[in-house]
C-alpha cells in the first residue's frame, strides 16, 4: 500500500512524478484508478469477478476432462 505511514513523502512525490498522476486522498477502487491513470492496473484487478468466474470455469472444464479420461470399469 502506498501511504504516508509506510513511505516517506519524498518517495511518494518521486513515485507520483514518475507515474504522472496527482496524489489521491483516501481510498480509491480499481475504477477510480482506471479513470485517474488508464493502463496502470492489470485487467485482472479491474475485473475481479470475471477473473474469479474464469478461474472457476477453467477448473470445472479441467475436472470434466480428467474425469472423462478415467477408464470405465467393464461390467461382466
Per-residue pLDDT of the chain (76 residues; tens, 9 = 90+): 555 667 787 887 887 788 776 666 677 788 888 888 788 788 888 889 999 999 999 999 999 999 999 888 776 6
Integer Cα distance of 25 and 52 in angstroms:
29
Integer Cα distance of 24 and 3 in angstroms:
10
Q: Which three cell numbers stand for residue 5?
A: 505511514
| Strand (E) or helix (H) holding 61 | helix 48-68
pTM of the model: 0.54
Q: Name, in order, each residue with C-beta under 8 angstroms of 37's C-beta and a sequence gap of 6 or more.
A: 19, 20, 21
Amino acid at each position: 500500500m502506498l501511504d504516508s505511514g509506510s513511505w516517506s513523502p519524498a518517495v511518494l512525490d518521486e513515485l507520483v512524478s514518475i507515474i504522472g498522476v496527482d496524489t489521491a486522498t483516501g481510498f480509491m477502487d480499481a475504477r477510480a484508478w482506471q479513470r485517474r491513470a488508464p493502463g496502470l492496473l492489470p485487467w485482472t484487478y479491474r475485473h475481479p469477478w470475471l477473473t474469479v468466474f474464469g478461474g472457476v470455469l477453467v477448473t470445472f472444464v479441467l475436472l470434466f476432462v480428467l474425469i472423462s479420461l478415467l477408464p470405465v470399469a467393464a461390467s461382466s
